[in-house]
Amino acid sequence: MNIQWYPGHMTKARRTMQEDIKLIDIVIELVDARAPLSSKNPDIDDLAKNKFRLILLNKVDMADDQYTQAWENYFKDMGFFTARINAKTGAGMKQLTPLIQEVCREKLDRDKKRGILNRPIRAMIVGIPNVGKSTFINSFTKRTVTKVGNRPGVTKGKQWIRLNKSVELLDTPGILWPKFEDQQVGIRLAMIGSIREEILNTGELALRIIDFMKTNYRQLFENRYGIVMQDKAADTLAQLAIARNCKLKGDALDYDKASMLLLEEFRNAKIGRITLERPDL
Ligand code: G4P
């Protein structure tokens, strides 16, 4: 399987990010709760050094709860502040303001000592493509009436969204790249739909999903399709094609259609809530 990446975009993204990061106090990093390590940028520790950090596990509605909890513990053990959210519905987002203040406590105390009161914390959303950055920002924009305009001199050309009197969010997220040198990471991101479909072999991806489901979520799969998983993934795919009436002319099985169907249902959590990576593995 050949997964193509676009290193050309990276250089520009990195430069923009380095500029934007100068303006902010806290980096809010979104990762996909279904694959929190694969959806993390490898250079973020370097890019965001000297900044306060918060890691948000997004799309928790599609992830397996027990592992989301395990991932929260994992990041906490590493010394990060973390929380779980659903950017689409806004679930978990109310608690973010107090959390951001807690993360930036040191800055708030410093400001207070210097007699600076009510200077908002400036935040920026970062993450790899498709992790939910725009959804997150839109959700806040809808909730908040105030859009803070340009700040001459300091934030030329940048728009800030005022979340409340203590936090402002940069309205353009920082787009980061995944660990592109790791093929396994690419496959996981393709499975959850973070990488564009057309550059991947759908059939092979479907077989990998079947193998993964057989080992980890066999019951969910069998319940969804009303079939028994076979020893060979290709045989299970054939069963699925029959169960879902994916047929070509002359009654031959349409494996492409069955693969697409499986991929779509897997990515949208129709089979069930699934986490691909576990902190203990
Ligand atoms: P990005 O800016 O980081 O690239 O990601 P974006 O917000 O565009 O989100 C990518 C997809 O993920 C969108 O789906 C969005 O609706 C979905 N999404 C974001 N957060 C969540 C979440 O917490 N839960 C769920 N279930 N989905 C989430 P899409 O297929 O591009 O559009 P649509 O299906 O919403 O129309």
What digits encode the pLDDT tens for the residues 130-182? Answer: 999 999 998 887 766 555 555 444 445 678 988 888 899 998 899 888 887 78
Q: Is the pLDDT of residue 191 over 60?
A: yes
Mean pLDDT for the chain?
Answer: 90
Q: What distance in angstroms lies between residue 136's CA and the mean position of ligand 1's atoms? A: 9
Q: Which of 264, 268, 274 is nearest to 244 (CA)?
A: 264
Q: What is the pTM of this model?
A: 0.92
- DSSP bridge pairs for 134: none
Whether residue 2 is predicted with pLDDT greater than 80 in this model: the reply is no
**Residue 30 CA: which ligand 1 atom is closest?**
3
Ligand 1 pocket mutation pick from 58, 130, 142, 274 by most atoms within 8 angstroms of CB: 130
Stronger pLDDT, 150 or 79, i.e. the higher one: 79
> 129 alpha carbon to ligand 1 midpoint, in Å?
10
Q: Tell me how far apart the alpha carbons of residues 235 and 239 are, in angstroms, rounded to a whole number.
A: 6
For residue 33 and ligand 1, the question of a CB distance below 6 A is answered with: no
Give Cα separations from 239 to 129, 141, 226, 229, 266 (angstroms): 34, 46, 10, 8, 17
Q: Is 62 in the pocket of ligand 1 (CB under 6 A)?
A: yes
Over the stretch 26-56, which tens digit does the pLDDT of each residue have?
Answer: 999 999 999 999 999 988 999 999 999 999 9
Residue 136: alpha-carbon gap to chain centroid? 11
What is the rounded CA–CA span in Å between residue 34 and residue 267? 10
Q: Residues of CATH 3.40.50.300 domain(s) within the chain?
A: 8-171
Calpha distance 238→222 (Å, rounded): 14
Which tokens is 241 given?
A: 């094609």
> What integer pLDDT is reported at residue 153 of this predicted model?
43
Query: What tens digit of pLDDT does each residue of 242-260 get?
Result: 999 999 999 899 999 999 9
Segment (H or E) for 110: helix 105-113
CATH architecture of 201-267: Orthogonal Bundle (1.10)
Note the CATH number of domain 8-171.
3.40.50.300
Q: Closest residue (by CA) to atom 17 of ligand 1?
A: 132
Pocket test for ligand 1, best of 126, 135, 139, 265 (most atoms within 8 A of CB): 135
CA angle 199, 177, 179 (to 5 degrees): 80
The pLDDT value recorded for residue 7 is: 60
Within the chain, all domains assigned CATH 1.10.1580.10 are found at 201-267
Asked if 38 and 183 count as a contact pair (C-beta separation under 8 A), the reply is no
